[in-house]
Amino acid sequence: GDSCKDVFIYGDIERISPEAPVPVFKPTHEESNDGMARNVSNNVEALGMTIHTLTNKNSIVKKRYVDNRSSQMVLRVDEHDHCSRISQHLIEGLKNNKLEKPPFGFESSQNEDHYDAIIISDYCKGFLEKEDVQYICKNNKNVFVDTKKNLGKWIKDADFIKINELEYNKNHELLSDKGFEEKLIVTLGSKGCRYNGKEFSVKEVPVKDVSGAGDTFIAGLVRGYLDTGSIYEAIEFAQRCTTSVVQKHGVSTVSLEELKTDE
C-alpha cells in the first residue's frame, strides 16, 4: 500500500496570536519515522514476522505539530499527498500467495517467495486502485484489508476487513448484506472493537498518541491469526498491541518482549 514519512514537530504554546484566534507555536524539537504502509511493515517486523513490502517510492510527508505540555496535535500539514500507481505486472504476478518474478531491488527480509498472509494497507493516495485490491483478494488467501476507499462489491473476496466505526456507517448499506459479517472488524477507538456481533472491550490506559494505532492493530491481528487460526484470539492480541502503542509518543511499534512485560 501507500507509505509516507511521518514528521512530528514538538513545541511550546504559551499564548494566542494577537492577529487571529490561533495559538503561537514555538518548535523545540523534531522526530520522524516511516508511516502508513511502512509503519505496518515496521510493526509486522517488531512482532517477529518477516515481510516483503510493495509501496510507492515518491515521498508523501505528514507533518504534525504537537504541543509539548498537553501532547495534543494542533496542526497537520500533508505534502505531496499523492503517489504513482503500482506496476501492473506486479499485481498480475501476485497470486496463490506468491509473487512471480519479484522486481530488482524488491524490499525483503526473507528469501522465500511464499506468503502466509497479505496485508493491504491502502490510504487511498493512488498506489492501489479498486481493481488492484479486488485482484489480490480474489487470487490469494489470508488477505487482510485496511482501506480508506468507499467500499463496494470489489472488496467481497477479502478474508478480513478492518474498518473504523465512521467508515462502517458510511458503508452501512453495503456491509449489512449477508456475507460481510464474518469479514468485518469494526474498531471503536477507546471502546475496543466489534466483530460478528461480539464486542471486544479494552482496558483504560493513559493515551499519549493514537497516530498509527490502526497500523499496529492490523499487524497484531495478522500475527495473532497466524499463531492461533482464530480471528477472535487474533482480535484480542491486536488490541493488546494497540493498547501498548497508544501509550507512546508519535508513530511507534510494539514488540513481543514489551507485550510479555505487560502481562
Q: How far is CA 175 from CA 41, 161, 232, in A?
A: 28, 11, 20
According to DSSP, the residues that pair with 173 across neighbouring strands are: none
Predicted confidence (pLDDT) per residue in 34-45, tens digit: 999 999 999 999
User: Which of 60-69, 184-193, 239-248 holds the top average pLDDT?
Assistant: 60-69
What's the pLDDT score for residue 111?
46
Predicted confidence (pLDDT) per residue in 131-185, tens digit: 999 999 999 999 999 999 988 889 999 999 999 888 888 887 777 776 788 899 9
What's the pLDDT score for residue 190?
83
Mean pLDDT of 6-26: 96
**The Cα angle at residue 261 between residues 246 and 205, in degrees rounded to 5:** 30
Higher pLDDT, 191 or 104: 191
pLDDT-derived band at 10 (thresholds 50, 70, 90) equals: very high
Mean pLDDT of 88-103: 84
What's the pLDDT score for residue 107?
52
Place of cell 507485550: 259
Higher pLDDT, 56 or 180: 56
For 37: left if phi > 0, alpha if psi spans -120 to 50, otherwise beta; the answer is alpha
According to DSSP, the residues that pair with 143 across neighbouring strands are: 118
Mean pLDDT of the chain: 89
Mean pLDDT of 238-263: 81
Assigned C-alpha cell, 164 = 473504523
Predicted confidence (pLDDT) per residue in 202-231, tens digit: 888 877 767 778 899 999 999 999 999 999
